[in-house]
Amino acid sequence: MKAKLLITLLFIASVELWAQTDTLTIGTLKDTISIVAVGDMMIGSGFPEGHLPKDDARKSFKYVKNFLKGDVVFGNLEGVLLDRGDSDKCKKCKDVEGKETILIDKSKEFYKKEEDKPITDKEKEEESCYVFRMPERYGKIIKEAGFNLLSMANNHANDFGYIGRKTTAKVLDKVGIQHAGPVEKKSVVFEKEGVKYGFCAFSPNADMLTVNNIKRATTLVQQLRTQANIVIVSFHGGAEGAPYTRVPRGKEMFYGENRGDVYKFAHSVIDAGADIVLGHGPHVTRAVELYKNKFIAYSLGNFNTYGRFSLKGLKGIAPLLDIKLNNKGDFLYAKVVPIKQTKAAGLRLDNDCKAFEELKRLTRLDFPETALKFEGDFILKADDALVENK
């Protein structure tokens, strides 16, 4: 009797295990999956006082909105969504009641600063207070632009501590944007049109999943691999600025902080089961790579960064990538939409295609062996031909 019961229980357990593992393969998945990816976004800060766009960010994505369409539309939220509160990072600066609602167009002043014009003592004080607090209402603007997935793992996600992270998560949940990165929400699994996506995000900063613990990162990716058809990994890492466009083989130190070994990290999470790796943090474009037929973007640059971000030279251009994968997560091709930003004009399409040329140049320098080629507006696998109707 005991033997029969044991056999019955084992059979039930095996059926349940089969059912759990087979949930990802039941039905027919769409043949091609589109992941649109951009870099850093901070569309206006209400702290230390209203560095907000004159139109209250309503037209922040006007010139690129038609390209923000895909199964997944991803970006890095460089800051928090929070209406009130001070930052421990800026003890000299205090929140002033009502200041958040004042819309001050700083573009001309900061454009002059980039031309080495004198700045006031007040501006000098604000420059040392480098934190970003977007109004909570901006969450809806980001959603309406087309985004449905954001990384919250970066050096500005903790500008206003736990309450900043908590409120940001609440706002994103309310408008329907998936997110992950802080220790409170290490990953997320969501479904769209029958495809299950797993997402996790990393950075070298406090209260975030760290990019520097690759073993823990790969363990999390392995867990997501059992729950999702497509696993997306994001990292905020690497040194910052125009001198740091190259992808080194080793850890990057910046202002005394270990910003990660992004090359090792990206390869390791793909070895663990990731289908695509999306990097940001250096504020400049970096190379892309194809590793084990999986796509890696090492830095997507500054995408939509209003006000106090430097947009000089390479920091003012970036790619918007529309990446196509098959339903196994393998790379098919990507369309590159080059964008540019200036203090005076904001975010625009770049007819000079500088970001595309920078991607091509850096990829050839850093990954000459990678099986990718650049033709027209596309990144293709080396053995594929360009098809005009892609």
The model's pLDDT over 250-308, given as tens digits with 9 standing for 90+, comes to: 999 999 999 999 999 999 999 999 999 999 999 999 999 999 999 999 999 999 999 88
Q: Is residue 114 pLDDT above 90, yes or no?
A: no
Check if the beta carbon of residue 208 is closer than 8 Å to that of residue 217.
no
What pLDDT was estimated at residue 118? 43
Q: Which domain, by its residues, includes 315?
A: 34-381
**Domain harbouring 96, CATH code:** 3.60.21.10
Query: Is 169 part of a structural domain of the chain?
Result: yes
Q: Is the pLDDT of residue 147 over 70?
A: yes
Segment 197-224 mean pLDDT: 98
Q: Answer yes or no: is 7 within a domain.
A: no
Does residue 11 fall inside a structural domain?
A: no
Distances (CA, A) of 41 to 133, 150, 270, 309: 12, 10, 26, 10
Least confident residue range of 188-192, 201-205, 284-288, 341-345: 341-345
Strands in the chain per DSSP E: 32-42, 72-77, 80-81, 133-134, 149-151, 178-180, 187-192, 195-202, 230-236, 253-254, 257-258, 276-280, 288-291, 294-297, 302-305, 317-326, 331-342, 346-349, 372-375, 378-381
What are phi and psi for residue 168, nearest 5 degrees? -60, -45
Q: Look at residue 106 and tell me whether its pLDDT is greater than 60.
A: no
Question: What does the pLDDT look like over 193-210, one tens digit per residue?
Answer: 999 999 999 999 999 999
pTM, whole model, 2 decimals?
A: 0.86
Task: Kindly state the DSSP code that residue 312 receives in the 8-state scheme.
Answer: S
Cα-based distances in Å from 112 to 127, 283, 322, 347: 15, 21, 35, 18
Residue 17 placed within a domain: no
* Residue 369 predicted with pLDDT over 50: yes
Q: What gap in Å lies between CA 273 and CA 271, rounded to an integer? A: 6
In whole angstroms, how far apart are CA 342 and each of 52, 54, 79, 315?
15, 15, 20, 10
Q: Is residue 327 one of the residues assigned to a domain?
A: yes
pLDDT greater than 90 at residue 384 = no
For the chain, the domain total comes to 1
Q: What is the pLDDT of residue 51?
A: 82
Please tell me the least confidently modeled range out of 31-35, 99-103, 161-165, 240-244.
99-103
Phi and psi at 175, nearest 5°, equal -90, -10
Confidence at residue 14, expressed as pLDDT on a 0 to 100 scale: 42
pLDDT for res 390:
58
Q: Which residue has the tokens 């609602």?
A: 101
- 């004042």: which residue's tokens? 102
Q: Is residue 262 part of a domain?
A: yes
The pLDDT-based confidence of 93 (bands split at 50, 70, 90) is: low
How high is the mean pLDDT of the chain? Answer: 87
- Looking at residue 19, its pLDDT comes to 39
At 227, list the tokens: 């729950």
pLDDT at 134 over 60: yes
Dihedral class, residue 143 (left if φ above 0, else alpha if ψ from -120 to 50, else beta): alpha
Q: What's residue 6's pLDDT?
A: 42
Specify the pLDDT at position 338: 99
Residue 17 has pLDDT above 50, yes or no: no
In a domain, 108, yes or no: yes
Evaluate whether residue 387 is within a structural domain: no
pLDDT digits (tens, 9 = 90+) for 312-321: 999 999 999 9
User: What span, in angstroms and rounded, lies between the C-alpha atoms of 20 and 22?
Assistant: 6
Q: What is the pLDDT of residue 270?
A: 99
